[in-house]
Amino acid sequence: MLAASCAGPGAPTSPPDAVAVRLPGPGNVRDGRFVVPVGLDNGRLFVRPAPAGMRPSFPEGRAAAEIWASPLMSGGRDGAVLGFGLVTTRVSAPDVPRVRKLPAWIGFAGSAVYHCPLETPAARTSPVTTPPGNGYVAVVLGAGNGLPALAYSARSSTCGRPATGPRVALATKTLSIPWRRSGARVGDTISIAYQLPPCGRFLSAGASGDPSGATVEVDATTPDAPLPCPAPVTKTTRLDVGSAPTVRHARLGLVSQLEH
């Protein structure tokens, strides 16, 4: 049973000066719960430990699958952390209100490492102020029923460019979706047809495998929260499957964006 939560557009207060706020990391979570305050961007995203008696009703496994399927998530699993806590935000966007002390599952990933092959020697020697949370991202799912679902990108700078952000948006997830053969095979290519999920966006389609067989996966993104959307339209594309005599469907459902 989830104890009282408070979410809405009201402006939250900053973390008290007496509270030591850390950047997110695996050591901040114990038994699936945040045990120390963590935050990004001077408290614009702030997570407090939840009271010991507060329990989420949205399952941790389901929350983890949706959070790690966010297209924001990347990098190795060692740098990712997920836990239950009370979330406050001080950034808003159209259709994305601020929340205050929202009981939620929060997943963090980062900090990203950027490679800049076109960077000049002069740029490398110039002093660059990097935001403390550079490259960090987070996904927040309300612990009652998975809503609200928010995606947060910390203020960051890439390749010495001026910093941008922070940004908040409705959270989305990556899905492997069904497809079917459409028409005859032509040489090494096949035509497939698929329908995007509600409010979905095409992400990628590809084949993998070996000469004995190919596995075809079509990925799309869709909002975590149900939204009013037009009816899906069937789309087609052609894929190179090489000389593989058989073509299989990839596993359907949520697709983790973290490296294994």
In-domain check, residue 7: no
Please tell me whether residues 115 and 199 are part of one structural domain: no
Q: What is the pLDDT of residue 13?
A: 46
Please indicate, yes or no, whether residues 193 and 68 belong to a single structural domain of this protein: no
Residue 129 to residue 132: CA distance in whole angstroms: 9
Q: Are residues 215 and 119 in the same domain?
A: no
Q: Report pLDDT for 3.
A: 43
Same domain, 154 and 195: no
Is residue 89 domain-resident? Answer: yes
CB 121 within 8 A of CB 85: no
Q: Which of 170, 201, 218 is the last residue of a domain?
A: 170
Spell out the SS3 assignment of the chain.
CCCCCCECCCCCCCCCCCCCCECCCHHHEECCEECCCEEECCCCEEEECCCCCCCCCCCHHHHHHHHHCCCCCCCEHHHCEEEEEEEEECCCECCECCECCEEEEEEEECCCCCCCCCCCHHHHHCCCCCCCCCCCEEEEEECCCCCCEEEEECCECCCCCCCECCEEEECEEEEEECEEECCCCECCEEEEEEECCCCCEEEEEEEEEECCEEEEEEEEEEECCCCCCCCCCEEEEEEECCCCCCEEECCCEECCCCEC
- Position 114 scores a pLDDT of 55
Domain assignment present for 1: no
Domain count, the chain: 2
Q: Which pLDDT score, from 0 to 100, does residue 104 have?
A: 98
Domain boundary among 170, 191, 220: 170
What is the predicted pLDDT for the residue at 5? 39
Q: Rounded to two decimals, what is the model's pTM? A: 0.83
User: Same domain, yes or no, for 188 and 164?
Assistant: no
Residue 3 lies in a domain: no
Q: Output the tens digit of pLDDT for each of the chain's 260 residues.
A: 454 433 333 344 445 433 557 899 888 999 999 999 999 999 999 999 999 999 999 999 999 999 999 999 876 666 789 999 999 999 999 889 899 999 999 999 985 555 565 555 544 444 557 888 888 999 999 999 999 999 999 998 888 788 888 999 999 999 999 999 998 899 999 999 999 998 999 999 999 988 889 999 999 999 998 888 888 889 999 999 998 899 999 999 999 998 75
Distances, alpha carbon 199 to alpha carbons 134, 194, 209, 254, in Å: 30, 14, 30, 16
Asked if 123 and 181 sit in the same domain, the reply is: no
Residue 10 counted as domain residue: no
Contact between 176 and 205 (Cβ < 8 Å): no
Asked if residue 117 belongs to a domain, the reply is yes
For residues 44 and 155, state if they share a domain: yes
CA distance 102 to 62: 18
Residues 42 and 158 in one domain: yes
Residue 105: Cβ-neighbour burial (10 angstroms; 0-12, 13-18, 19+): buried
19 found inside a domain:
no
Which of these, 106, 86, 81, 72, lies nearest to 25 by C-alpha position? 81
User: Do residue 165 and residue 188 come from a single domain?
Assistant: no
Asked whether residue 224 falls in the same domain as residue 136, the answer is no
For residues 107 and 180, membership in a common domain is answered with no
List the domain range (segments joined by +) for residue 214: 173-254
AA identity, residue 188: D
Cα atoms found within 13 Å of the Cα of residue 111, Cβ hemisphere only: 15
- Report the amino acid identity of residue 179: W
User: What does the alpha-carbon distance between residue 216 and residue 238 come to, in Å, rounded to a whole number?
Assistant: 11
Q: Is residue 158 part of a domain?
A: yes
Same domain for 117 and 97: yes
Last residue of a domain, one of 170, 189, 223: 170
Retrieve residue 205's tokens.
């389609």
Could you tell me if 177 and 194 are in contact, meaning their C-beta atoms sit under 8 angstroms apart?
yes
